[in-house]
């Protein structure tokens, strides 16, 4: 795991790479994609490939480039996938990815116990002002599952 962040952290944001589950997106490919978008390296702090390997991509002391308006106080984690082979958004996490993601989030919550875990889609604007970000308000489907609910029980 990266060295502990020297900045305040209150949010752990889960993403998918929106890549097809039948294609490989290596950590170096992900880094290159982000550099082509004008980022100074990969915008996520961690990347979990389909084999369940957790790759440290950006040091925790560096602000991420993954959730506009929320980067300064967050940690970004992406998993490889998020699209079926036909391009349809779906939860394509492998068993190994699910396990690695759960383990990483558990460790981060020990380091940052006041943090909230959410999916990127949960940071969409509440367009109708009812206090709930509903599926029709999501700017993206990412991460294609309810991260807040799935990791609610991981508090230390």
20 DSSP assignment: E
Q: Which CATH architecture describes the domain 11-150?
A: 3-Layer(aba) Sandwich (3.40)
Residue 86 burial class via C-beta count within 10 angstroms: exposed 0-12, middle 13-18, buried 19 and up: exposed
pLDDT digits 0-9 by tens, 26-49? 999 999 999 999 999 999 999 999
| Res 125: pLDDT | 55
Q: What integer pLDDT is reported at residue 54 of this predicted model?
A: 98
pTM of the model: 0.91
> To which H or E segment does residue 33 belong?
helix 27-36
Q: Which residue, among 142, 43, 133, has the nearest Cα to 91 in the 3D structure?
A: 142
Residue-wise pLDDT tens digits, 51-110: 999 999 999 999 999 988 899 999 999 999 999 999 999 999 999 999 999 999 999 999
9: tokens are 């952290």
Inform me whether the pLDDT recorded for 156 exceeds 70.
Answer: no
pLDDT, tens digit (0-9, with 9 covering 90-100), for 102-132: 999 999 999 999 999 999 988 865 557 776 6
């Amino acid at each position: 795991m990266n060295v502990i962040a020297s900045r305040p952290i209150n949010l752990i944001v889960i993403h998918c790479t929106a890549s097809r589950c039948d294609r490989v997106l290596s950590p170096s490919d992900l880094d290159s994609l982000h550099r082509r978008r004008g980022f100074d390296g990969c915008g996520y702090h961690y990347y979990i490939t389909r084999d369940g390997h957790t790759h440290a991509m950006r040091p925790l002391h560096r602000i991420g480039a993954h959730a506009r308006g929320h980067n300064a106080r967050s940690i970004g984690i992406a998993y490889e996938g998020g699209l079926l082979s036909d391009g349809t958004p779906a939860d394509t996490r492998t068993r190994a990815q699910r396990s690695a993601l759960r383990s990483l989030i558990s460790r981060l919550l020990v380091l940052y116990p006041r943090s909230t875990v959410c999916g990127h889609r949960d940071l969409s604007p509440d367009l109708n002002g009812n206090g709930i970000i509903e599926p029709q308000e999501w700017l993206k489907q990412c991460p294609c599952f309810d991260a807040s609910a799935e990791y609610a029980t991981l508090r230390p």
